[in-house]
Structure 1
Amino acid sequence: MSDFEKNGPNAPKGYFAAEAAGLQWLAEPQVVPVVPVLEEGKDFLRLERLEEVAPSADAAREFGAQLARLHDAGAQSFGWSPAPTAWFGPLDSPFEVATAEHEDFPDFWSEDRLRPLADRITRTLGADGHDTIDEAIDVIADGAFDGISGQGTEEPARVHGDLWSGNLLWTADGATLIDPAAHGGHRLEDLAMLSLFGAPFLEEIFEGYEAEHPMPGDWEQDLCAHLFFGLLAHVHLFGEAYVDQAIATAEAITARADQLGF
């Protein structure tokens, strides 16, 4: 067995401790492969080196079912983090996110994640863009996406939190989670991030998920509200290239809320 050392002498204090805690928390239910943590230091994390293989439709379906089981393992509240401080973003430029606990998803998502980030990028969005973003955050705060497709309310799920395709490695043991921003959240957060930049065999992942945890027929129309944070984070981290997509997503959120009667 070989290892892989992730290091960053300029990483903020607590960054590697948060990642290690997140990996261990995701591995705890033993329902999905998670890269093992071998050693944690102040400015490094030593992980088991993963040997990648080509993804397949069967592996994707199995991962979808595993992800559903991970979410169903639950969390104690929305916003809860397995470490005292939590981060989002790449090693060279992460930003801190709140770890306050919330009883409901709309308050957590709108007030602790979306609104603070939107305020950071006001100048980049422009006045009209910021107004459109704010309108979308308001409908989320009103509870339009508390459940799925307007049905019921969701309990806090055990989510990876940054599950874009680059944080999912395909190995002989199955799709394996790396680089989490783990927290108690809404199950659609992870599914939305997988869709944001197009994970391999995405539809097969969704099929496996729905086979394990049945979903309303139009649930994918809700994904816009759950990938919104990831898009706003990309505006914050990488600038104007993501502004048009963020604004279009805000408009889709408002339109979907209208469909749901909000």
Structure 2
Amino acid sequence: MAADASRVHRKARTGAPAGFFACEAAGLRWLRVPGGARVVDVLDVADDHLDLVRLTPVRPDRAAARAFGAALARTHDAGAAAFGVPPDGWSGDGFFGPLHDPLPMRAGAYASWGAFLADCRIAPVAAALRSAGRTDAADDAALALLADRLRAGTWDDDEPPARLHGDLWSGNVVWTAQGATLIDPAAHGGHRETDLAMLALFGLPHLDEVLGGYASVHPLPRGWRHRTSLHQLYPLAVHALLFGGGYVAQTLAVAHRWARA
């Protein structure tokens, strides 16, 4: 039986990159874990569209934010086989960025977060920024040094790979009467602090309550707030690549700071 059209939200794009919608659907299904954050339901997927259950937004409150934080920790705790792996049901690289112009998001299988971040995020986006004329020689050197330090394990810890949404800015958290619901993932195995850093990047209502709920399920390690900008570097760099402007200066300031840290 066909779904009620009033309950369907269709994401569509003619000429979307091959597998774009299938990758997103796989990510949404992978993120659905018992006790974890709510995830929008997938109704149908094809080469040129993805049909989802239509969500009705409501104003978030502190109780809903705290519940979301606790649920997100359980989603992360569901884990992944390695840093950089794509969601179950999808193989190969993923996608990051807006529907009209998504960038390839390199996949891999790494034992350490730093090596994954260097090889699959920092090095590719640094090359793209250089090709677009967004960086100079000093910027390129800082990004290369940062990648080397990441590969050396400078900021690695004992956290196992987490099951990440991967693009968890505030616009991809829809507050509904049933609770906060995740949409539009770039799902992969990564470091849990990356999702939390994304929530902070463009602001999320009641973020302190979200973090409190999160810590009640999975306490965060010492110094995690200090590392927030390191985890924000890749999405900032993508914004610099796509939109230029102030994002370029912000990205390069973060890159230079962490290269010297």
TM-score, normalization by structure 1: 0.91
SS at match of 1:96: strand
1:2-46, CA deviations, whole angstroms, 9 ceiling, x for partnerless residues? 110000012101000000000000014452100000011110000
Tell me the TM-score normalised to structure 2 length: 0.91
SS at match of 2:36: coil
* Amino-acid identity (%): 45
1:169 touches 1:178 (CA, 8 Å); kept in 2? yes
Misfit runs of 4+, over 3 Å:
none
Distance 1:254 1:201 in 2: 32
- Residue of structure 1 in register with 2:254 after alignment: 249
Q: Does 1:182 align with 2:192?
A: no
Q: Which residue of 2 aligns with 1:139?
A: 149
Residue of structure 2 aligned with 1:68, choices 69, 73, 76: 73
Give CA-to-partner distance per residue, 1:135-154, whole Å, 9 cap, x none.
Answer: 3333222212212xxxxx22
Which residue of the partner structure matches residue 125 of structure 1?
135
Bigger drift between 44-53 and 107-116 goes to 107-116
Q: Structure 2 regions of 5+ residues with no counterpart?
A: none
1:14 partner letter: G
Q: Give the distance between the partners of 1:224 and 1:204, measured in 2 at CA.
A: 20
One-letter identity of the residue aligned with 1:102: Y
Q: Which residue of 1 aligns with 2:232?
A: 227
Q: CA offset at residue 133 of structure 1? A: 2.7
Q: What root-mean-square deviation, in Å, do the aligned CA atoms of Structure 1 and Structure 2 show?
A: 1.5
Distance 1:216 1:46 in 2: 38
Following the alignment from structure 2 to structure 1, what is the Cα–Cα distance between the partners of residues 146 and 229?
10
* 2:217 alignment partner in structure 1: 212
Whole-angstrom distance in 1 between the partners of 2:203 and 2:135: 25
Q: Which of 117, 122, 127 is the aligned partner of 1:114?
A: 122
Number of matched pairs = 251
Equivalent residue for 1:5, pick from 2, 10, 13: 10
> Which stretch of structure 1 is more off in the superposition, 84-93 or 125-134?
125-134
**Counterpart residue identity of residue 8, structure 1:** R
Residue 54 of structure 2 aligns to which amino acid in structure 1? Answer: R
Once the two structures are overlaid, the 10-residue window that deviates more, 105-114 or 46-55, is: 105-114
Unaligned runs of 5+ in 1: 148-152
In 2, the alpha carbon distance for the partners of 1:5 and 1:72 equals: 30
- Establish whether residue 105 from structure 1 lines up as the match of residue 105 from structure 2: no
Q: CA deviation at 1:66?
A: 0.7
